[in-house]
Structures are given as structure tokens and as C-alpha cells.
């Protein structure tokens, strides 16, 4: 994928007046007590929705929420999402009770240009995640044109992200275009030194990315729970820190690949440890390679923050995916805050890989101090690894 530029068919170039446009968005947002806890993903979709409305189209929005696994789960219905979207859009939103069927088709058919409809959670149908052609065809019958604006789901080959493009003219929404534009800078000719900062809870979710990234970047800084599998693989004593034991051979392979490519992998030298992950827990700052028995590493330590900050200051291009510790629980947010501050102070082109990292940067008030915060964690990583993303391929010009 990275050998050629990513040119997409743009929604701006579609003839939408008088048409019904099906738009795949990503409204997989946190809902607490029936209210949206973080509406950033909804806000990110508004430019495309407004463009279509102003262009004289009926707009039909499709999204998933959570993992209902093909069942109707009441708490994963999209009523709260619809209410919040209506507030942000300052325009009525007709939230429907299903995503396919005669009642849904009839409601949309009776609408007028400029109307906005929100289909029910597409993952209530098991055929969605299986990318069954029959379900994609049923969705396609609800509109004339398909727009994919769900970058965070573009690595999923589902009916509403991929299959539907077999039946309708497909275009990239404004958010999708923006994501590809900003991430392409890391694919085509990144200014060097180019460093990757990788954290998160477990090595399992990041190992594939690390295997590919060592071929693309100059250095890797590893923190979070991921670091303990690397430390363990190199013979460290890590107490009760989380380790993916069955992946240690693969971790060693990544380390060997980096050595063969003469790429530096930087691991923590010290960590903040505790006997339990609890707010206000007693902590010790200890050497990362000799964590006491009964203690677990839960954040990178001050010496590591300082050393990582030096590497960040020397970089020209930075991608960061995964917090440096259990940032959501005090007193284990210092490492993530320190890295965010170092990136904010850097002149490098910096990309935050969405997901937990985007949430952390937002909580720390640093979103505006980096070059770009992607809306997709897994999708961002897949693209930067050079993986082929079928849902994105379906939008190519």
C-alpha cells in the first residue's frame, strides 16, 4: 500500500442533490447512564453531514456501538447517540429502530432533502461483522450513494464498511480524507529521525505493529504494559508485572530484527511500582530490571521520562500509540503526561494514534499541541504498518 499514493474518490465530487446518501460513521462512543461521555467522534462527522445536507441530499447514518455480537442489546441502542447528534447538528435526527427492513426503508423514503436519519446499531445483525453480501445488499437498498467517513473502522472488512461498496458508488468523507492526508506524511517520506512510541496494556495488541514498525522508523521507545514482556524476554526480574508469557519468543524475534536493522529499541530504566492497581496506592520508584517480588510496574519512572524526552526532542517525526502506564489511575499518570509534554514541546511532526492514547492526550489538554490526533487506534496502526485495508481500497480513485 505504501508504494503508491492514496488517492480517494471524494464526497465533494459526488452528485448528491436529490439523492439519498448512506454514510458509514463511527459513533462507537462511551455511554454512561444513558448519556454520551465523550462526543468527539460524533463531532468529527459533522462536516460531512453538513456538506451533504447543504448539497440537497437525504443523509442516512450507519454505525456500530460496542460488541453486541449479532444480538439486540438494549444498552447498546443508539438513542443517546441520536439525541447528542441532534444537539450538535442543531437539526432533527430521526433515529430508526433497525438498520434494514421495510419499516426502515419506508421511513427514509418519506423523508425530504436535508433530512437526517440514524440507523440502529448495525452490529445487532451478525451478518455485519461477517460481511455477508445479503446484508450489504439490504443496506445498499436504502440509498443511492455510499460515503465512508468511519476511519476508525476502516480496518474492519464488514458489510457496512466494505461489502456495501459492491452495490453503490463509494466515496470518502471529509474525515476520512483528512486522516489519510495527515497519516500519508508518515508513509511517503517522513523526515528523520523518525521515532515510534509504543505503550498500552499488553504486548499482544502491539507486537505485530512493532514487527513492522522497526522496518520503518529509526528508533522505538517502549513503555506501558508492553515494556514488561520485552524486559522479561531480556532476562529482567519484573515482579508481578503483566507479561504475555506465550509471546516471549516473538518478542525476542522483534528485538533481533531491530538489532539486524541497526534500529534502537529503548526500554524503561525505572518504573513506578505498586502492589495493586488502586487509586492512592503506595508506590515505589524502582529499577525496571529488578522489580521486587509482589510489586508490579504500572508506569515509567522519572529517569525513563527524562531519557525518552531527550529522544523525542531529537526527533523530526513521531508516532505515539499506547499510554506509558495506567494513566487513568493516580498516581500512575506521570509517564503518559511526561511523554505528552515532551511531544508538545517538540518541533517534530507528531501523530497520536487514537484510541486510549488520543483519550489520554485529550484528558491532559495536549490535543492542540500535537500535529494530529487520529480518530482510529487500530486503523491508524494498520495503515502505518503498511497493511492493505480493503475498506480503504474500495474508495480509491
List, as one string, the DSSP characters of 245-277.
GGGHHHHHHHHHHHHHTT-EEE--SEEEEESS-
Q: Which residue has the higher pLDDT, 359 or 136?
A: 136
Which residues carry out catalysis? 41, 202, 355, 378
Asked if residue 291 is part of any domain, the answer here is yes
Check whether residue 224 and residue 123 sit in a common domain: no
Query: How many CA atoms lie less than 13 Å away from 91 in the CB half-sphere?
Result: 14
pLDDT of res. 3: 44
pLDDT at 152 over 90: yes
pLDDT confidence bin for 381, thresholds 50/70/90: confident
Last residue of a domain, one of 130, 151, 177: 177
Check whether residue 288 and residue 366 sit in a common domain: yes
Angstrom distance (rounded) from CA 369 to CA 242: 32
Task: Pick the closest to residue 119 from 43, 64, 199 (CA basis).
Answer: 64
Check whether residue 226 and residue 98 sit in a common domain: no
Check whether residue 210 and residue 165 sit in a common domain: no
Domain that holds residue 124: 11-177
Check whether residue 258 and residue 307 sit in a common domain: yes
Asked if residue 390 is part of any domain, the answer here is no
pLDDT of res. 322: 93
> For residues 159 and 136, is the Cβ–Cβ distance under 8 A?
yes
pLDDT at 182 over 70: yes
- pLDDT average, residue stretch 182-193: 92
pLDDT at 354 over 80: no
Cell numbers that stand for 19 in this block: 439523492
Q: Is the dihedral of CA 86, 359, 213, 249 positive or negative?
A: negative
pLDDT of res. 155: 92
Concatenated DSSP letters for 120-135?
A: --GGGSHHHHTT-HHH
Asked if residue 4 is part of any domain, the answer here is no
pLDDT of res. 2: 41
Check whether residue 60 and residue 84 sit in a common domain: yes
Check whether residue 28 and residue 172 sit in a common domain: yes
Q: Which residue has the higher pLDDT, 377 or 60?
A: 60
- pLDDT average, residue stretch 166-182: 97
pLDDT of res. 1: 42
Check whether residue 282 and residue 218 sit in a common domain: yes
Check whether residue 124 and residue 218 sit in a common domain: no
Asked if residue 217 is part of any domain, the answer here is yes
pLDDT at 5 over 80: no
The pTM of the full predicted model, rounded to 2 decimals, is 0.90
Interval 216-265: pLDDT, tens:
999 999 999 999 999 999 999 999 999 988 999 999 999 999 999 999 99
Amino acid at each position: 500500500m505504501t508504494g503508491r499514493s492514496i488517492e480517494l474518490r471524494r464526497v465533494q465530487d459526488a452528485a448528491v442533490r436529490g439523492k439519498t446518501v448512506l454514510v458509514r460513521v463511527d459513533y462507537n462512543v462511551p455511554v454512561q447512564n444513558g448519556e454520551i461521555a465523550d462526543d468527539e467522534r460524533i463531532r468529527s462527522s459533522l462536516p460531512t453531514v453538513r456538506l451533504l445536507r447543504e448539497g440537497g441530499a437525504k443523509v442516512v447514518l450507519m454505525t456500530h456501538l460496542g460488541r453486541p455480537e449479532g444480538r439486540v442489546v438494549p444498552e447498546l441502542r443508539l438513542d443517546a447517540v441520536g439525541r447528542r447528534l441532534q444537539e450538535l447538528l442543531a437539526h432533527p435526527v430521526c433515529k430508526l429502530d433497525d438498520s434494514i427492513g421495510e419499516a426502515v426503508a419506508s421511513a427514509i423514503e418519506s423523508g425530504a432533502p436535508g433530512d437526517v436519519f440514524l440507523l440502529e446499531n448495525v452490529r445487532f445483525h451478525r451478518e455485519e461483522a461477517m460481511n455477508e453480501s445479503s446484508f450489504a445488499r439490504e443496506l445498499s437498498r436504502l440509498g443511492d450513494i455510499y460515503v465512508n467517513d468511519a476511519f476508525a473502522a476502516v480496518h474492519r472488512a464488514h458489510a457496512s464498511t466494505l461489502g456495501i461498496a459492491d452495490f453503490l458508488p463509494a466515496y470518502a468523507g471529509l474525515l476520512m480524507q483528512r486522516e489519510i492526508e495527515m497519516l500519508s506524511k508518515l508513509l511517503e517520506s517522513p523526515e528523520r529521525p523518525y521515532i515510534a512510541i509504543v505503550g498500552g496494556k499488553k504486548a499482544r495488541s502491539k507486537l505485530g505493529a512493532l514487527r513492522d514498525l522497526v522496518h520503518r522508523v529509526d528508533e522505538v521507545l517502549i513503555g506501558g504494559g508492553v515494556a514488561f514482556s520485552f524486559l522479561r524476554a531480556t532476562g529482567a526480574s519484573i515482579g508481578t508485572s503483566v507479561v504475555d508469557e506465550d509471546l516471549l519468543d516473538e518478542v525476542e524475534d522483534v528485538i533481533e530484527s531491530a538489532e539486524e536493522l541497526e534500529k534502537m529499541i529503548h526500554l524503561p530504566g525505572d518504573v513506578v511500582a505498586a502492589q495493586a492497581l488502586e487509586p492512592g496506592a503506595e508506590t515505589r520508584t524502582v529499577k525496571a530490571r529488578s522489580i521486587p517480588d509482589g510489586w508490579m510496574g504500572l508506569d515509567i519512572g522519572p529517569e525513563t521520562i527524562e531519557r525518552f524526552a531527550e529522544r523525542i526532542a531529537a526527533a523530526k517525526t513521531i508516532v505515539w500509540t499506547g499510554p506509558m502506564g495506567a494513566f487513568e489511575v493516580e498516581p500512575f499518570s506521570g509517564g503518559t503526561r511526561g511523554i505528552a509534554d515532551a511531544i508538545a514541546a517538540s518541533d517534530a511532526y507528531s501523530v497520536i494514534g487514537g484510541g486510549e492514547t488520543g483519550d489520554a492526550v485529550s484528558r491532559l489538554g495536549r490535543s492542540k499541541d500535537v500535529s494530529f490526533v487520529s480518530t482510529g487506534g487500530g486503523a491508524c496502526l494498520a495503515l502505518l504498518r503498511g497493511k492493505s485495508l480493503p475498506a480503504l481500497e474500495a474508495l480509491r480513485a
